[in-house]
Amino acid sequence: MEYKYLIIVRDGIVEIEGESYEKILRKEKSTSLKEIKRIFKRFKEEYLGKEIIVKERFRGKWLEITL
């Protein structure tokens, strides 16, 4: 199954030995935008103050979108 949408909860960026890494708390994939909107709403309540990023797969690349 090929997923079309991806939602990521990020808690900033950490540097370890000169390399930057994203601190990912949770990641979910879906084929439906309706489901991603539901997950986004739930994540906003669960992860207060964390960065929530939504991406859409377009022509083989993940592009960030806004909801």
Residue 28: its pLDDT value, please?
A: 95
Express each pLDDT in 9-61 by its tens digit. 999 899 999 999 999 999 999 999 999 999 999 999 999 999 999 999 999 89
Residue 67: its pLDDT value, please?
A: 86
The reported pTM is 0.83
Dist. CA 16–CA 23, nearest whole Å: 12
pLDDT at 2 over 90: no
Dist. CA 60–CA 51, nearest whole Å: 24
Identify the burial level of 34 via C-beta atoms within 10 angstroms of its C-beta, where 0-12 means exposed, 13-18 middle and 19 or more buried: exposed
| Cα-based torsion angle of the residue sequence 42, 44, 50, 53 in order, rounded to the nearest 10 degrees | 80
Express each pLDDT in 48-64 by its tens digit. 999 999 999 999 899 99
